[in-house]
Every structure is written in C-alpha cells, then in structure tokens.
C-alpha cells in the first residue's frame, strides 16, 4: 500500500477532527492551574484549516507542502508551533514523492521530528518532543527490515504503540508531571493526531463530534426541517479595500448583515471583515460584501439539507456533494493562501517599527502611546496565530520591525512569523510579560542603531520584575503544595510563587519579594475597581516603604486582576 496526496490529506483532516474532539481532555492535562492558551485548543486550531489543502489527484509532495504551510500560519502556542514544524519536516521528507511507501513515511517522520527539535533551544525530555522522537526512531528501525518488511498499517500501528508507551512514561521523565499525576499534554495531543491518521488509513476517518444535549441524546430531531426560517449558513472573509482600512469602518455593512437573518457575527478588523449569518439569500450578503473589498473565503451551507440528512441518517444528496466541491474550488481560487488573508506589504516610511501582542484597552493604549505601530490582540487563553503576527509585521511602515510577544507561549509563534517574512528585517525581542514589553519600549531610542537598541532592550528586560495575580482554574500541586481551584495565585515572570484564599494575603506575599523596588506600576484588570487599585498602591507603601513610588493604571486585561511592574 502507498499513500497518495488525497489519502494523506484525509489522514490529516481526520487528525485535526480527533484533536478538536479531544481538546478538552488534552487541556485538562495542563500541569499549572493558571489560565493560559491550553494545549488542546492550540493544537486543534493549528490543524483547523488543513481541510482546504490539496486537491484530488495531487501528489503527496504537493498536498503535504500545502498542509505544512497552512499549519504553520495557523500555529498557536508552543505546542501548535512544534506540531506545525513536525508537518513541515514531513513535507520535506516527501520532496519528489508522488505516492509514499513505508520507507518514505519513516524518513518523513524522522525529518519531522528533527524540524520540531530545532525549534526548541533547550529540549526537555518527557514532552511532545520525546514522544515524536521515539516513535519516529521506531518507524525508521521497522522500515529498515529487509526480511518480512512491514505493511503500511503495521508501520503506523508500531508508531502509535511506541508513542502511547512513551506518553505513559513521561511522568517518570519530568518530575512536575509525576507530582501532578498526569502525562504530558502535548504528548497526548501527538498521540491523538496519530490515532486520527490511522483511522483514516483504515478507511474510517474521524468526524467532528455531533452536538449533544445535556442528556447525551441527539437534538436534531426535536424540530422540523421546515422550522428553519433562514436556511443558508453564510460565512465569508472580506479583504478590505483601501477606503475601508482600519477597525470599525464598515458600520453600514454590519447593519445590513444584522438585518439579513439571524445568528449574525460580524468582526470589523483593520484589514478584514469576517462575518457569519443565517439568511434566506446568501447572494445578497455576498453582493453587499464585495462593495467593501475582495472576497477571500466563502462558505455557504444549506442547513435544511443538513438537518434532513441528520434526522433521516441519509447520505448527503448529490447536489450537496457537488456544492461542497464547488465551495472547495471557490475557496482555493479566492484565497492566495487558502483561508488566510495574504498580508500586504506597506511602504517603509521609517527605520524602526513595533508590533506588540497584548489585550486590555488600557494596556493597548499604553503600548500605542509608547510608539507601537501595530497591535496583535492576544495573550493568555488568546494565543494569536503565526499569520496574525505576520499580517501586522507586513502592515508596519518600517524597514526593521521589532516584535514583542509579551507572553512565553507566543514567543515561538513570533519567531516563525519572523522566518516567514522575507522583505523586512524582523527582530523578535522575547518578552515573556506585558511588563517586560513596556520596559523594552521605554528603552528604545530612534537615534541609536539596531544593535544598540537591541542591547538596551534586552538589558531593560532584565531590570524589571513582572508580578501578577490571577486565580487558579483547576486543582493542582505546585512546588509540593496543593492549590485549589479559585485560590489567588501570585506569579513572578509566569512562575507561581505563592497562593492564598484571600487576595490581599496573596499580594502581600508577592510584594515581599520586591521590597527594594523604587518604582512600581499596577495595571488593574477588567474586573478590578478604582478603589481596589488604590488599595494595592497603599499596600505597596506598607510592604515596600513610603519611598517606593507606585501608580495604579486601568489596564483592562482579562483574567489577571493585577499586573505589577517593579524596578
């Protein structure tokens, strides 16, 4: 048996569906109780767009190359980047291959693992990388057998068996996993990917799980097909024409969409409009859309047809199948990079520019005041994709673009965006926190050279202490201590250093570590009152002394009550 492009695409789509179905199970394995971009979500979103990659009859080389490109641009979080680079390496292994045999697969897995390892400066054993490496080594060994060579099914079964066996051993390799009593979440995600691929290889690809009621019974038969008033689920992305560039510029279009049906969602971003609406006339929606720019993706589904199929358990009609093929062809034709808006370069008007990843109205305003040209909305639980960062890099009117991830889990995404940009010089300053990002921007001097600024920024990162207060989202064991869901957590540069049932007690313990700080800025979260902010300023005076200068600012960030910068 050999794997052609069509089958390989089916295997990866099946893997993506399996990830989506299992994402919460993978999320629940996350060791630390802080709210973050959970592993299952990030890996699932990384493979979410691969169904558009490749056409019937294409070679596995072509299909794998498109899948790798799509996954890399969709990659979110460290786990997502590692997974996307694994598929990038696989695509290199299929160079010149039309249909892959067993040795081709083994070689591709080896190159995929090597590519993933190269992305991590200090690989840690007991993670997804270990699961990848040992399973690919097993594949290489099995594929090299001269007598009784394995079948394709036997090869994948071996890869999966070794991956699963390695996953079960990860707690013995990584003490923090053993302490928490879980296996590695990224490793679990990789096993889920393999199992999805194997299902398709056996002719039973994984489908997305159907929505269910609280009782677990199917809800599709509880209403009649005729009750669907607006039968066409219509989605599209519009690349804005120059006249409509900027956020919130398509208000009239929004009104039109809201009046066109129900279940409307309308996103009016700087470069694109993304909409979803249930309507009786999708043609009118799309005709209105082209007044504001070019259609980049279009998706129209007949919900009455889908409902009839689900309630009668029939296969989709030939008309629906044909419509799906037309939709796929349309998606390929109007999207230069499948579902992605091809980021447009803007003319360089200055030497240096900044792209900052952050969220919260006050924090965004602070970065803009300090000179950030573009903002990528994101942070904890909202890890942006590689393409999100790349789009803003290309929209920055400068020769050199500094990118500030401001989150440990976004640094790898920023690094991949930098590698994809070929015209501008992109310099990623690996800021782990918002506080470090602000310190970096304050250290910038437009009169100095690139090297001088880079050195000054890196020094500024070292001189700021990043404190934060949030609440535990799950029970966990940290540093040998039991942390309960809902408790307040005190963190220093993302690492938990204290926890308490009372927020003030948590703050006191956290601030005791920066008693010598002379200047402190407190960014108050979205759910924090002005009075609470002033109370923290008073607490700083109590803990750090009256000579410490402290200021409270409305940051508006979600999830974290306080982000404190101490210098």
Q: In the chain, what are the domain boundaries?
A: 5-201, 220-334, 350-462, 465-566
Fold of the CATH domain 220-334: Alpha-Beta Plaits (3.30.70)
CATH number of 465-566: 3.30.1180
pLDDT for 276 equals 72
Average pLDDT over residues 356-369: 94
**Nearest in space to 405 (alpha carbons), one of 443, 370, 359:** 359
How far is the C-alpha of 300 from the C-alpha of 278, rounded, in Å? 9
Higher pLDDT, residue 342 or 446: 446
Q: What is the rounded (10 degree) CA torsion for 415, 418, 419, 420?
A: 120
3-state helix, strand, coil in the chain (%, to 5): 50, 20, 30
pLDDT for 301 equals 75
Give the phi and the psi of residue 382 in degrees, each rounded to 5. Answer: -130, 55
**Nearest in space to 351 (alpha carbons), one of 435, 452, 430, 439:** 452
Does 209 have pLDDT greater than 90? no
Sign for the pseudo-dihedral over CA of 363, 369, 370, 375: positive
Question: What's the mean pLDDT when you consider all of the chain?
Answer: 85
Q: Per-residue b/e over 337-354, b at no fewer than 16 CB within 10 Å? A: bbbbbebeeeeeeeebbb
pLDDT in tens, 455-504: 999 999 999 999 999 999 888 887 778 889 899 999 999 899 999 999 99
CATH classification number, 350-462, choose in 3.90.780.10, 3.30.465.10, 3.20.20.70, 3.40.50.510: 3.40.50.510
Does 505 have pLDDT greater than 50? yes
Q: Three-state SS for 433? A: coil
Q: Three-state SS for 154? A: helix
Fold of the CATH domain 5-201: 1.25.40
Q: What is the pTM of this model?
A: 0.70
50 pLDDT band, cuts 50/70/90, is confident
pLDDT for 177 equals 87
How do beta strands 519-524 and 562-566 pair? antiparallel
Instruction: Select the highest-mean-pLDDT range: 121-125, 137-141, 253-257, 311-315.
Output: 137-141
């Amino acid at each position: 048996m050999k794997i052609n492009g069509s089958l390989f695409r089916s295997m990866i789509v099946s893997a993506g569906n399996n990830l989506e179905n299992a994402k919460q199970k993978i999320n629940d394995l996350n060791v630390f109780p802080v709210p973050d971009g959970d592993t299952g979500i990030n890996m699932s979103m990384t493979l979410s767009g691969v169904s558009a990659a490749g056409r019937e009859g294409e070679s596995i080389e072509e299909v794998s190359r498109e899948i790798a490109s799509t996954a890399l641009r969709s990659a979110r979080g460290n786990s997502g980047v590692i997974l996307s680079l694994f598929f990038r390496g696989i695509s290199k292994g299929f160079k010149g291959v039309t249909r892959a045999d067993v040795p081709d697969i083994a070689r591709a897995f080896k190159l995929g693992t090597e590519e993933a390892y190269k992305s991590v400066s200090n690989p840690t054993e007991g993670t997804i990388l270990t699961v990848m490496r040992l399973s690919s080594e097993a594949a290489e060994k099995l594929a090299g057998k001269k007598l009784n060579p394995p079948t394709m099914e036997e090869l994948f079964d071996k890869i999966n068996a070794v991956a699963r066996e390695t996953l079960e051993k990860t707690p013995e390799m990584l003490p923090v996993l053993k302490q928490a009593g879980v296996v590695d979440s990224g490793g679990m995600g990789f096993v889920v990917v393999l199992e999805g691929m194997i299902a398709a290889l056996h002719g039973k690809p994984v489908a997305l799980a159907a929505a269910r009621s609280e009782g677990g019974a199917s809800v599709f038969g509880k209403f009649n097909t005729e009750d669907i008033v607006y039968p066409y689920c219509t989605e599209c992305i519009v690349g804005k024409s120059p006249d409509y560039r900027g956020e919130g510029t398509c208000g009239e279009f929004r009104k039109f969409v809201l009046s066109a049906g129900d279940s409307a969602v309308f996103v009016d971003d700087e470069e694109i409009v993304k909409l979803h609406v249930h309507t009786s006339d999708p043609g009118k929606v799309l005709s209105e859309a082209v007044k504001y720019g070019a259609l980049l993706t279009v998706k129209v589904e007949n919900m009455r047809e889908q409902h009839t199929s689900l309630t009668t358990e029939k296969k989709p009609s030939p008309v629906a199948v044909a419509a799906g093929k037309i939709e796929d062809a349309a998606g390929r034709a109007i999207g230069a990079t499948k579902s992605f808006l091809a980021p447009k370069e803007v003319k360089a008007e200055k030497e240096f520019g900044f792209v900052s990843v952050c969220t919260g109205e006050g924090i965004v305003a602070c970065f803009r005041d300090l000179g950030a040209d573009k903002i990528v909305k994101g942070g904890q639980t909202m890890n942006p994709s590689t393409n999100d960062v790349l789009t803003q890099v290309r929209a920055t009117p400068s020769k050199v673009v500094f990118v500030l991830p401001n989150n440990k889990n976004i640094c790898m995404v920023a690094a991949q965006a930098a590698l994809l940009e070929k015209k501008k010089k992109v310099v990623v300053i690996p800021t782990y926190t918002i506080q470090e990002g602000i310190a970096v921007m304050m250290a910038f001097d437009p009169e100095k050279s690139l090297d001088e600024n880079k050195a000054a920024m890196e020094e500024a990162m070292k001189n700021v202490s990043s404190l934060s207060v949030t609440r535990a989202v799950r029970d966990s064991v940290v540093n040998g201590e039991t942390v309960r869901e809902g408790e307040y957590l005190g963190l220093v540069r993302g690492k938990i250093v204290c926890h308490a049932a009372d927020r003030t007690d948590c703050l006191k313990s956290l601030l005791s570590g920066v008693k010598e700080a002379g200047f402190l800025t407190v960014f108050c979260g979205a759910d924090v009152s002005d009075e609470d902010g002033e109370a923290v300023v008073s607490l700083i005076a109590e803990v750090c002394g009256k000579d410490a200068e402290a200021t409270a600012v409305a940051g508006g960030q979600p999830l974290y009550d306080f982000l404190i910068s101490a210098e």
